[in-house]
Structure 1
Amino acid sequence: MRHRLGLLMALAVILLSFAGIPGPPPAHAADALLSRDRPVTVSSTENPFVGANAVDGDPGTRWSSEFADPQWIQVDLGASAEISEIVLNWEAAYAKAFQVQVSADARTWSTVHETAAGTGGNQRLTVSGTGRYVRMYGTERATPYGYSLWEFQVYGTMDDGGDPDPGPGEKLLSYGRTGTASSSQNDGHCQECTPARAFDRDPATRWATSPTNGWTDPGWISVDLGATAQISKVVLQWDPAYAKSFQIQVSADHTNWTPIYSTTAGTGFKQTLTVSGTGRYVRMYGTERATPYGYSLWEFQVYGTGGDPLTPPPVPPDPADPPRIVWQDEFNTPAGTRPDPAKWTADPGTGHNNELQYYTDNDNVSTDGAGHLVIEARKRATPGTSCPTDPLTGSGTCQYTSARINTGNKFEFTYGRVEARIKVPKGNGLWPAFWMMGADFLDGRPWPYNGEIDIMEILGKDVKTSYSTVHAPAYNGGGGIGAPYKLPGDADYSDDFHVWAAHWDSKGIVYSLDGRTVLTLDKARIEQTRGPWVFDHPFYLILNLAVGGDWPGPPDASTPFPARMLVDYVRVYQ
C-alpha cells in the first residue's frame, strides 16, 4: 500500500467470491472460483445474451441459447483443476434434465453430475472431477424457451504444476547449482539477473538475457547438476519475456545436446513439463521469443534422480488445527497510553505515493481508555517547521500529521489467520489501512520484491468500498491483484467497527469481512496466470492513516480534522 506507484488499483480480480455474486461463498473455504472471466464456448446464442455473460460475476447479465435441445455452455479454466463445486444461477428458462461434464481436451467428456429433475433457481452442486474444461450440457428444457444462466461458476483447486510430490528417490536437483547462459542482464531494470537467480528457489529473483546483445534468437540458460542424473520433470516460471518456441535439452559434456522436450506454442507463466532424459547438464534453448524482449525466467527447476543435489531450505509448514492465538494486542490500557513498545515501532516520515501527511514518532497515536487504539490525523492551522525533516524528501512543513506503526523486528511470522477490528474515518483525502510487508524489506530487499499483503484499504471519499490486494514483482502498483467489495445493503464502513481478516497459508490467501469470504487468491492459479507468488516467508503487521496521495486525492474544506481510525484489536492465529 505505502510502497506502490500510487496509481488506481487495477481491479484484476483473480478467483474471487464477493457480494455481487449470488449465493454464499463456496462450501470448501480453500477452494477458489476458477471460472471468472475465463473463455467460454456455447452451442448457440440468443443475441445479445452471449456466453461470456455467465462467467463475468455480474448477476444482472446472462447467457441464453436457442429454443432447442440439446444445448451447452463450456468454460476453459486454462489448466487442469480438481473441481469440487458448481453453481448454476438459472434464469426462468432452466434445464429440467442436464449434465455437468469435465474434460481435459474439450473432446472427451466425463459426467460428474446428472439429473432429470432440475429445479432451476440457484443450484449449488457438490461434484468431484478433474479437467481443464467444464460444461453444462442440457438435454431437456423446463420451458418452451431455451437455456439461460445468469451465472455459471466453477470452484476447485488448480493443479499446482510445479513443486510436485516427487516420485521414489526424486529430488529437486537444480537448487543452488552452477548455471550459464547465452547472456545476462545487469542494469537498473534488472540488477544481477544472472543464471544463478533462476536456480535459487527464490520466486522474486530472475535470470534475463542482456538487452545489449541478448534480445535475439536463440537464447539459452543451462544448469550443471554436478553429476549424471535421470531427469523426470522441469518447471519453468516465466517472466513476461518468455519463449514461444523452445527445447529442453540434456548433455553429458555441455557441448553435445539431446532434446527431451520441444514446443512451438509456449504459454509463458508457469509450465510443468514431464520429460525423460539422462545427462549432467540441462538447458532451456529458446528459438523464438514471444515478445520483442529477450528470455527471462524467475525459476528453472529440474527434478529427477542422481546428480549431486544440494538441500534447499525447508518450506514453511502450514498452521496446524485447531488454530490458537500466537500474538495479539487488545489495547486495554489507560487513555493516552502510547502503543506497547514491546509490540509496535513508530515509523516516522512522509510516506509515499505523494501523500501529504508527516508520520510522527507516536505523537498521533494512543489508546482511548475504552479498549481502542486511536490513530489521529491532524491539520495545522498553518504549516509548521518544527517537525523533523524527512530524509527521503527533505520536507519538514508538516501541514498534516498522522501515525504509522508496525511490528517489524518484534513480531514477524509466516502463515496464519490475521485479523483486526477497525472503525474507519470518513472524509475526502483520508486513507486508512491494515496491511503487511515482507520482513526482508527491513533487511534491504526493495519493494515489491519483498511482497506486500494489503488486508484493508478504504478511501475516505468512498466509505462504502473496501479493497484487499497483493503486490509482487510481476504484479504491483496499479497492477496489483485484488478486488473491491461492499457491505450488505451497501452500508457505510465508517458507521461501525468491522473485522477484516486474511487466512494465509501455502496455497494462497482467503480474505474475509465480518466472517464472510470476499476474495480468494489461489497461489497455483496466480503462478499460472500472473507470475510468481512471493508470499511464503515472514511478514510483519502495519497500521496507518494517510492523508492525501495519488489514489485518494487531497483533503478539502469538508474533511473533518482531527480524523480518527479506531482499532479494537489485532490478533494472529496459528
Structure 2
Amino acid sequence: MTDQRHAARRAEGSKDTTVPRRRFLGAAAVAAAGAGLASSVASAAPGDVAFAVNAGGSAYTAADGTDYRADTSYSGGSAAQSSDSIAGTDDDDLYRSERYGDFSYDIELAAGTYDIELHFAETYWEASGDRVFDVSVAGTEAVADLDIYAEVGHDAALVRTISGVDVPGGTLTISATSDVDNAVINAIRVVEANGDGSSSQQPYGGSAWTIPGRIEAEDYDTGGEGVAYHDTTSGNAGGAYRADDVDIESATEGGYNVGWIAADEWLEYTVDADSTTTYDLDLRVASASGGGQVRVEVDGTDVTGSLDFDATGGWQEWTTVTAGSVNLAAGQHVVRVYAETGDWNFNYLELRPAGGDGGATYPDDPGNLDGRSWDQFFADHFDGDSLDTSVWVDQEGNGHDYGVPGWGNGEEQYYSRDNRWVENSNLVVEIREEQASDEHGTYDYTSGKLVTQGNLDFQYGRVDFRSKLVEDQGLWPAHWMLPAGDAAWPDDGEIDIMELVGNEPAAVHGTVHGPGYSGGGSIGGGYHLDSGVFADDFHVFSVVWDPGVIKWYVDGEHFFTVTREDVESGGNDWVFDDGPFWLILNCAVGGEWPGSPDETTTFPQRMEIDYVRLFTEA
C-alpha cells in the first residue's frame, strides 16, 4: 500500500534521500562507509564470481550457489526491507532487501575484465514514472533513466548486465543517482570475464536454459561483444532490459524482443538438454517488409541451413519459423542464432521433443481429446519474467467497484495484483490472511483474480488449464468463463470449467449457469480423485464446447456433459451459442458455497497455473 507521507513528499517535487520511507528498515552496516570491500576471489577463473553483495540485507546463498555477502562498504543511502513475494526469480530474499537514495559501492578487484550484474525489484511504487534513476560503473553511466516498474511491474525481478568492464586493479565504484524519487538496488554480482584470455561466456542469470523449453531472445549469455553476441552498432537502441550493445525493446506478445537486427549479427544461449533425443526447433520472428534469413548453430555446427521467412506486415506482427529437427545429447550445448540478413526482430526460440504437439513443453497434455484432432490457437505457459498484461487483466477489490459487493456471493477476500506473479514458468495466485482496506470497508483476506475480458475471447473449441489447487475450509479456486457483451448475469450464461470448495479437496465441479438455472439451481456434475487431493499435484481441467453441447474433463477423463436438449427440456433457454466468452481464474475466500475459513484453514496457500491453452478443431 502507498505510504501517504512518501506520496505527498513526491507530489511536492522535493527529493529527500535521508528520510527512511519504509515500514521495514534494515540494520545499519557495520563497516565504515567508503572503505573498500576486498574480493572473495583473489584471482578468479573466467566466469567465476569475483564479488557479490546483498544490498541492504544480510548474507544470502542464491539458488545458483552464489554467496552474497551482507551489505557493507557502501557510501550514502539507506537500507530497507520488504516481505513481498517476487516474481521471476527463485531468490525472493535477495530482492526483499535494498539500498536506496544516492549511494555508491567501492569494490576491490584484481586487474581483469568483468561482467557486472545489477539486480533490481520495485517493491514500493505501483506506477510507471514514480521512480527513475541512473547507475554508473567505473565513472561511466551504464544504466540511464531506469524505471523498474515500467519494465517488469511491481514485485518482479529485473537484472541488468554491463559486460566487458575493464578494471586495471584496485577499486571499482558502482554508484546510483536519483532522478525521480530514490535510486534503489537490491544486489550486485561481479563475474570475471577474461582473466586469462579465454572465453568469459556464462548463461544469463547463472543457470543454463533447460530444454525442452522456450528461451527468450533477450536472455542471451553474458560475456559481451564477440563472446556471447555480435552486434554491429553500439548502444541498446530499445533501451530495455539489459545495457549491452544489443537492441532490446518491449514485445507485444509480452516481455521483450531483440530488434534492429543486421546481417551477420548473432546471439548465443547456453542450454541444458535433459535427455539425448531429437528436438523440434522453432523461432519466433517479425519483419515489417522484406522478410529475412537466419540459421541456427549448435556447438559451432550449422544444424538448420538457411531458413527464409516472408514479411509479416509489421515489426510486432509475429510468425513462427519451423527450423526442423535437431539431435542433441544430454547435457550442455551452446546454441547460436545467426542473422544471414537483417531488418527483422527476434522474440524467442523453442525446442521440444520431435514428433509431438508439445510433449514435455505441455506436461499432462490430454492429446486428441474427445477423439478429435485439435489446432492450438493460443497458449500461455507463463515462461516470461512477468505476466502478459496484454492478455490478462487484474480485477481488484471486493466487487463494489463492479456493482457486485462480495462478488455477488458474499465473498470475504480483497483481490490484489500483489497476490499474483510469475515464478518458475507458473502463474502463482497466493491466498493470504491479512487485512486490506478501501473506501468500501476492511477485509481479512487477500487473493488474486485475472480475466481476459477485452483482450481474448472465443466461441467453440477446447480449453485446457493445468493447475495445482488449494485446500481447507473456506477456500474456493475456480477457472471459468463469462460472455462478451454487457448483458446482466446470468442472462447470457456462465461456463465453470473447474470449481473446488476447500472442505472437499478431492472433488471438482463443472457447471453452467443461465436464465432460470443459476446459483443453487445451476446444472453441473462432479469429478472425484481416487486418491489424494487437487492441492497435491497439477491436473489438467478441460472443456470442449460445441454448438448445442459442452463436455468437461479432468486429465483427459470425461465426467460430465450438458446439451441444449437438457436445458430446454426443463423449460429454460440455451444461451451458449449466442456469442463468445472470455476467461477468468481466481481463488475466493468465504462466500455462500464454501462458507468462511475456520481454525483448520491454513494461510498462506498458493494456486499455481502451469499453462492455459485454447484450440479449435483441426
TM over 0.5: no
Give the shorter-chain TM-score range: 0.3 to 0.5
TM-score (norm 1): 0.40
TM-score (norm 2): 0.37
